[in-house]
Structure 1
Protein backbone atom coordinates (compact mmCIF):
# COMPACT_ATOMS: atom_id res chain seq x y z
CA UNK A 1 0.00 0.00 0.00
CA UNK A 2 2.89 2.41 0.70
CA UNK A 3 4.25 1.86 -2.83
CA UNK A 4 0.85 2.83 -4.23
CA UNK A 5 0.78 5.92 -2.00
CA UNK A 6 4.27 6.95 -3.12
CA UNK A 7 3.27 6.54 -6.76
CA UNK A 8 0.22 8.74 -6.16
CA UNK A 9 2.38 11.28 -4.31
CA UNK A 10 4.84 11.30 -7.22
CA UNK A 11 2.00 11.75 -9.70
CA UNK A 12 0.58 14.60 -7.62
CA UNK A 13 4.01 16.26 -7.47
CA UNK A 14 4.36 15.85 -11.25
CA UNK A 15 0.99 17.50 -11.87
CA UNK A 16 1.68 20.34 -9.47
CA UNK A 17 4.94 21.33 -11.13
CA UNK A 18 4.51 24.67 -12.84
CA UNK A 19 5.57 23.63 -16.31
CA UNK A 20 2.96 20.85 -16.57
CA UNK A 21 0.14 23.20 -15.64
CA UNK A 22 1.52 25.88 -17.98
CA UNK A 23 1.67 23.36 -20.82
CA UNK A 24 -1.92 22.25 -20.23
CA UNK A 25 -3.11 25.86 -20.26
CA UNK A 26 -1.13 26.54 -23.44
CA UNK A 27 -2.71 23.56 -25.22
CA UNK A 28 -6.24 24.64 -24.27
CA UNK A 29 -5.62 28.27 -25.24
CA UNK A 30 -3.93 27.16 -28.47
CA UNK A 31 -6.94 25.05 -29.44
CA UNK A 32 -9.31 27.96 -28.83
CA UNK A 33 -6.97 30.35 -30.62
CA UNK A 34 -6.90 28.08 -33.69
CA UNK A 35 -10.64 28.61 -34.12
CA UNK A 36 -10.17 32.38 -34.07
CA UNK A 37 -7.38 32.28 -36.64
CA UNK A 38 -9.34 29.93 -38.92
CA UNK A 39 -12.32 32.30 -38.72
CA UNK A 40 -10.13 35.28 -39.62
CA UNK A 41 -8.68 33.43 -42.61
CA UNK A 42 -12.08 32.23 -43.83
CA UNK A 43 -13.96 35.43 -43.03
CA UNK A 44 -11.40 38.11 -43.95
CA UNK A 45 -8.40 36.78 -45.87
CA UNK A 46 -10.24 34.42 -48.24
CA UNK A 47 -12.77 37.09 -49.30
CA UNK A 48 -9.93 39.57 -49.90
CA UNK A 49 -8.21 37.02 -52.11
CA UNK A 50 -11.63 36.22 -53.57
CA UNK A 51 -11.87 39.80 -54.80
CA UNK A 52 -9.37 38.82 -57.50
CA UNK A 53 -10.55 35.24 -57.93
CA UNK A 54 -12.68 32.76 -56.05
CA UNK A 55 -13.50 33.03 -52.35
CA UNK A 56 -12.44 29.47 -51.63
CA UNK A 57 -8.67 28.99 -51.79
CA UNK A 58 -9.16 25.22 -51.97
CA UNK A 59 -10.51 25.61 -55.51
CA UNK A 60 -7.16 26.92 -56.81
CA UNK A 61 -5.26 24.11 -58.48
CA UNK A 62 -3.04 23.28 -61.41
CA UNK A 63 -3.45 20.31 -63.70
CA UNK A 64 -0.19 18.51 -64.50
CA UNK A 65 -1.50 15.44 -66.34
CA UNK A 66 -4.51 14.70 -68.43
CA UNK A 67 -7.70 16.63 -68.68
CA UNK A 68 -8.68 17.82 -65.20
CA UNK A 69 -12.43 17.61 -65.04
CA UNK A 70 -14.85 17.16 -62.18
CA UNK A 71 -14.22 17.75 -58.52
CA UNK A 72 -13.72 15.74 -55.35
CA UNK A 73 -13.48 11.97 -55.76
CA UNK A 74 -14.91 12.13 -59.31
CA UNK A 75 -12.04 14.33 -60.53
CA UNK A 76 -9.91 13.09 -63.37
CA UNK A 77 -6.31 13.98 -64.13
CA UNK A 78 -3.51 14.85 -61.73
CA UNK A 79 -4.01 18.08 -59.82
CA UNK A 80 -1.74 20.07 -57.56
CA UNK A 81 -3.95 21.75 -54.98
CA UNK A 82 -1.77 24.77 -54.30
CA UNK A 83 -4.75 26.79 -53.03
CA UNK A 84 -5.11 24.64 -49.92
CA UNK A 85 -1.37 24.95 -49.29
CA UNK A 86 -1.67 28.73 -49.63
CA UNK A 87 -4.59 28.76 -47.17
CA UNK A 88 -2.70 26.66 -44.63
CA UNK A 89 0.37 28.87 -45.06
CA UNK A 90 -1.68 32.02 -44.46
CA UNK A 91 -3.21 30.46 -41.37
CA UNK A 92 0.26 29.58 -40.06
CA UNK A 93 1.70 33.04 -40.74
CA UNK A 94 -1.24 34.78 -39.08
CA UNK A 95 -1.05 32.46 -36.08
CA UNK A 96 2.72 32.97 -35.75
CA UNK A 97 2.37 36.77 -36.05
CA UNK A 98 -0.36 36.99 -33.43
CA UNK A 99 1.48 34.70 -31.02
CA UNK A 100 4.69 36.69 -31.48
CA UNK A 101 3.22 40.18 -31.22
CA UNK A 102 0.64 39.48 -28.52
CA UNK A 103 2.49 36.93 -26.38
CA UNK A 104 6.22 36.52 -27.05
CA UNK A 105 7.22 40.16 -27.59
CA UNK A 106 5.41 41.58 -24.53
CA UNK A 107 6.72 38.74 -22.34
CA UNK A 108 10.28 39.33 -23.59
CA UNK A 109 10.01 43.03 -22.81
CA UNK A 110 8.60 42.26 -19.36
CA UNK A 111 11.38 39.77 -18.59
CA UNK A 112 14.01 42.24 -19.81
CA UNK A 113 12.62 44.91 -17.47
CA UNK A 114 12.61 42.48 -14.57
CA UNK A 115 16.21 41.47 -15.32
CA UNK A 116 17.28 45.13 -15.52
CA UNK A 117 15.61 45.82 -12.17
CA UNK A 118 17.31 42.78 -10.64
CA UNK A 119 20.71 43.87 -11.95
CA UNK A 120 20.15 47.44 -10.74
CA UNK A 121 19.20 46.11 -7.32
CA UNK A 122 22.31 43.89 -7.24
CA UNK A 123 24.46 46.84 -8.35
CA UNK A 124 23.07 49.00 -5.55
CA UNK A 125 23.65 46.21 -3.06
CA UNK A 126 27.28 45.82 -4.23
CA UNK A 127 27.86 49.57 -3.91
CA UNK A 128 26.38 49.46 -0.41
CA UNK A 129 28.59 46.49 0.50
CA UNK A 130 31.69 48.25 -0.82
CA UNK A 131 30.76 51.43 1.03
CA UNK A 132 30.18 49.50 4.25
CA UNK A 133 33.51 47.74 3.80
CA UNK A 134 35.29 51.05 3.29
CA UNK A 135 33.63 52.51 6.42
CA UNK A 136 34.66 49.46 8.45
CA UNK A 137 38.25 49.81 7.19
CA UNK A 138 38.28 53.47 8.19
CA UNK A 139 36.97 52.59 11.67
CA UNK A 140 39.62 49.89 11.98
CA UNK A 141 42.37 52.28 10.91
CA UNK A 142 41.10 54.92 13.34
CA UNK A 143 41.04 52.39 16.18
CA UNK A 144 44.55 51.19 15.30
CA UNK A 145 45.78 54.77 15.18
CA UNK A 146 44.06 55.55 18.47
CA UNK A 147 45.48 52.44 20.10
CA UNK A 148 48.92 53.23 18.71
CA UNK A 149 48.87 56.76 20.09
CA UNK A 150 47.57 55.49 23.42
CA UNK A 151 50.44 52.96 23.72
CA UNK A 152 53.06 55.69 23.49
CA UNK A 153 51.57 57.64 26.42
CA UNK A 154 51.54 54.76 28.97
Structure 2
Protein backbone atom coordinates (compact mmCIF):
# COMPACT_ATOMS: atom_id res chain seq x y z
CA UNK A 1 0.00 0.00 0.00
CA UNK A 2 1.62 3.21 -1.14
CA UNK A 3 0.78 6.54 0.37
CA UNK A 4 0.99 9.66 -1.73
CA UNK A 5 2.12 12.78 -0.01
CA UNK A 6 -0.48 15.52 -0.39
CA UNK A 7 0.89 18.82 -1.64
CA UNK A 8 1.44 21.30 1.14
CA UNK A 9 -0.74 24.33 1.61
CA UNK A 10 2.22 26.53 0.70
CA UNK A 11 2.74 24.62 -2.57
CA UNK A 12 -0.96 24.97 -3.42
CA UNK A 13 -0.85 28.70 -2.67
CA UNK A 14 2.26 29.10 -4.84
CA UNK A 15 0.52 27.26 -7.71
CA UNK A 16 -2.52 29.49 -7.29
CA UNK A 17 -0.41 32.65 -7.47
CA UNK A 18 1.54 31.48 -10.50
CA UNK A 19 -1.56 30.50 -12.44
CA UNK A 20 -1.77 33.98 -13.98
CA UNK A 21 -5.36 34.71 -13.10
CA UNK A 22 -4.28 36.42 -9.90
CA UNK A 23 -1.94 38.76 -11.76
CA UNK A 24 -4.67 39.57 -14.30
CA UNK A 25 -7.10 40.24 -11.46
CA UNK A 26 -4.62 42.52 -9.68
CA UNK A 27 -4.04 44.51 -12.85
CA UNK A 28 -7.80 44.79 -13.38
CA UNK A 29 -8.33 46.10 -9.86
CA UNK A 30 -5.60 48.72 -10.20
CA UNK A 31 -6.82 49.86 -13.63
CA UNK A 32 -10.40 49.85 -12.36
CA UNK A 33 -9.49 52.06 -9.41
CA UNK A 34 -7.72 54.53 -11.71
CA UNK A 35 -10.61 54.39 -14.17
CA UNK A 36 -13.05 55.13 -11.35
CA UNK A 37 -11.40 58.51 -10.87
CA UNK A 38 -11.93 59.32 -14.56
CA UNK A 39 -15.59 58.36 -14.38
CA UNK A 40 -16.08 60.39 -11.20
CA UNK A 41 -14.60 63.40 -12.98
CA UNK A 42 -16.91 62.91 -15.98
CA UNK A 43 -19.95 62.67 -13.71
CA UNK A 44 -18.86 65.69 -11.68
CA UNK A 45 -17.72 67.81 -14.63
CA UNK A 46 -20.21 66.84 -17.36
CA UNK A 47 -23.25 64.98 -16.05
CA UNK A 48 -23.85 67.13 -12.96
CA UNK A 49 -23.76 70.43 -14.91
CA UNK A 50 -26.21 69.01 -17.48
CA UNK A 51 -28.51 67.96 -14.65
CA UNK A 52 -27.79 71.34 -13.04
CA UNK A 53 -29.33 73.04 -16.05
CA UNK A 54 -32.61 71.51 -14.91
CA UNK A 55 -32.16 71.86 -11.17
CA UNK A 56 -29.20 71.78 -8.84
CA UNK A 57 -25.66 71.01 -10.00
CA UNK A 58 -25.05 68.58 -7.19
CA UNK A 59 -27.16 65.45 -7.48
CA UNK A 60 -26.76 64.88 -3.74
CA UNK A 61 -29.17 67.79 -3.13
CA UNK A 62 -32.09 65.96 -4.74
CA UNK A 63 -34.17 64.45 -1.97
CA UNK A 64 -37.71 63.85 -0.82
CA UNK A 65 -39.10 64.40 2.65
CA UNK A 66 -41.12 61.72 4.40
CA UNK A 67 -41.96 63.70 7.52
CA UNK A 68 -44.21 66.73 7.81
CA UNK A 69 -41.34 69.11 8.55
CA UNK A 70 -38.06 68.96 6.67
CA UNK A 71 -35.86 71.95 7.42
CA UNK A 72 -32.14 71.51 6.86
CA UNK A 73 -31.16 68.16 8.31
CA UNK A 74 -34.36 67.81 10.35
CA UNK A 75 -36.98 65.32 9.27
CA UNK A 76 -36.80 62.07 7.36
CA UNK A 77 -35.20 62.64 3.99
CA UNK A 78 -34.70 60.17 1.18
CA UNK A 79 -31.54 61.19 -0.68
CA UNK A 80 -32.45 59.78 -4.08
CA UNK A 81 -30.11 62.20 -5.85
CA UNK A 82 -27.02 60.41 -4.55
CA UNK A 83 -28.50 57.10 -5.71
CA UNK A 84 -29.11 58.63 -9.13
CA UNK A 85 -25.50 59.90 -9.26
CA UNK A 86 -24.10 56.50 -8.28
CA UNK A 87 -26.34 54.80 -10.85
CA UNK A 88 -25.16 57.15 -13.60
CA UNK A 89 -21.56 56.57 -12.57
CA UNK A 90 -22.08 52.80 -12.69
CA UNK A 91 -23.77 52.93 -16.11
CA UNK A 92 -21.01 55.10 -17.55
CA UNK A 93 -18.34 52.80 -16.14
CA UNK A 94 -20.09 49.67 -17.41
CA UNK A 95 -20.63 51.21 -20.84
CA UNK A 96 -17.03 52.30 -21.24
CA UNK A 97 -15.68 48.96 -20.02
CA UNK A 98 -17.98 47.06 -22.38
CA UNK A 99 -17.48 49.18 -25.49
CA UNK A 100 -13.78 49.93 -24.99
CA UNK A 101 -12.53 46.62 -23.57
CA UNK A 102 -14.97 43.69 -23.70
CA UNK A 103 -16.41 44.16 -27.19
CA UNK A 104 -13.08 44.77 -28.98
CA UNK A 105 -11.49 41.82 -27.14
CA UNK A 106 -14.38 39.54 -28.10
CA UNK A 107 -14.07 40.57 -31.75
CA UNK A 108 -10.31 40.07 -31.65
CA UNK A 109 -10.67 36.59 -30.12
CA UNK A 110 -13.33 35.66 -32.69
CA UNK A 111 -11.01 36.69 -35.52
CA UNK A 112 -8.16 34.72 -33.98
CA UNK A 113 -10.39 31.65 -33.67
CA UNK A 114 -11.53 32.01 -37.29
CA UNK A 115 -7.92 32.26 -38.47
CA UNK A 116 -7.01 29.20 -36.40
CA UNK A 117 -9.89 27.18 -37.86
CA UNK A 118 -8.99 28.29 -41.37
CA UNK A 119 -5.38 27.14 -40.90
CA UNK A 120 -6.15 23.81 -39.25
CA UNK A 121 -9.53 23.09 -40.74
CA UNK A 122 -12.36 22.48 -38.36
CA UNK A 123 -12.25 18.70 -38.70
CA UNK A 124 -15.55 18.39 -40.52
CA UNK A 125 -15.57 16.93 -44.00
CA UNK A 126 -16.03 19.57 -46.64
CA UNK A 127 -19.18 19.20 -48.70
CA UNK A 128 -18.51 18.89 -52.41
CA UNK A 129 -21.04 20.53 -54.65
CA UNK A 130 -22.09 18.13 -57.39
CA UNK A 131 -24.02 19.34 -60.41
CA UNK A 132 -26.88 17.45 -61.99
CA UNK A 133 -24.84 16.89 -65.15
CA UNK A 134 -22.05 15.23 -63.16
CA UNK A 135 -24.52 12.88 -61.47
CA UNK A 136 -26.04 11.92 -64.82
CA UNK A 137 -22.59 11.26 -66.29
CA UNK A 138 -21.72 9.01 -63.34
CA UNK A 139 -24.98 7.07 -63.79
CA UNK A 140 -24.27 6.70 -67.53
CA UNK A 141 -20.71 5.47 -66.86
CA UNK A 142 -21.99 2.95 -64.32
CA UNK A 143 -24.61 1.61 -66.73
CA UNK A 144 -21.99 1.33 -69.49
CA UNK A 145 -19.71 -0.59 -67.15
CA UNK A 146 -22.54 -2.99 -66.26
CA UNK A 147 -23.23 -3.74 -69.95
CA UNK A 148 -19.66 -4.66 -70.48
CA UNK A 149 -18.43 -1.52 -72.10
CA UNK A 150 -20.94 -1.31 -74.93
CA UNK A 151 -21.76 2.33 -75.37
CA UNK A 152 -23.42 3.64 -78.47
CA UNK A 153 -23.69 7.35 -78.93
CA UNK A 154 -27.00 8.51 -80.15
Q: Tell me the TM-score normalised to structure 2 length.
A: 0.71
Whole-Å Cα distance in 1 between the matches of residues 27 and 114 of structure 2? 28
Q: How far 1:13 moved relative to its partner?
A: 2.5
- Aligned match of 1:55: 57
Give the unaligned 5+ runs of structure 1.
1-5, 128-154
Q: Identify if the C-alpha distance between structure 1 residues 124 and 76 changes in structure 2 by more than 3 Å, giving closer, same or farther.
A: closer
Q: Give CA deviations for 1:52-94 in whole Å, capped at 9, x if unaligned.
A: 1111000001112221101xxxx11111111011100100000
Q: What is the Cα deviation at residue 27 of structure 1?
A: 0.8
- Of residues 18, 21, 45 in structure 2, which corresponds to 1:19? 21
Shift of 1:10: 3.8
Q: 1:77 to 1:126 in 2, by over 3 A?
A: closer
Out of 97, 101, 124, the residue aligned to residue 99 of structure 1 is 97
CA distance in 2, matches of 1:114, 1:18: 21
Q: Deviations over 1:95-134 (max 9, x none)?
A: 000000000000000010011111111228888xxxxxxx
Query: Counterparts in 2 of 1:102-113, with a 5 A limit?
Result: 102-113=100-111
Distance in 1 separating the partners of 2:33 and 2:79? 26
Greater helix share, structure number: 1
Alignment partners' CA distance in 1, 2:102 and 2:113: 16
1:4-153 matches, cutoff 5 A: 7-70=9-72, 75-123=73-121
